Amino acid sequence: MERIVNLHIERLTEGVYLATSEEVPGLVAQGRTVTETLEIARDVARKLIAARGERTGATQRTDGL
Q: Is residue 3 part of a domain?
A: no
Task: Count structural domains, the chain.
Answer: 1
Q: What is the pLDDT of residues 10-55, one digit of tens each?
A: 999 999 999 999 999 999 999 999 999 999 999 999 999 999 887 7
Q: Is residue 13 part of a domain?
A: yes
Judge contact between 19 and 41, C-beta under 8 A: yes
Answer whether residue 59 shows pLDDT above 80.
no
Please return the burial class of 10, using the count of CB atoms within 10 Å of its CB with bins 0-12, 13-18 and 19+: exposed
Q: Is residue 19 part of a domain?
A: yes
The pTM (predicted TM-score) of the whole model is 0.78
Q: Which residues contact 15 (CB under 8 A, 6 or more apart)?
A: 32
Range of the structural domain that residue 39 is part of: 8-60
Q: Is residue 2 part of a domain?
A: no
Q: Which of 43, 10, 11, 3 is nearest to 27 (CA)?
A: 43
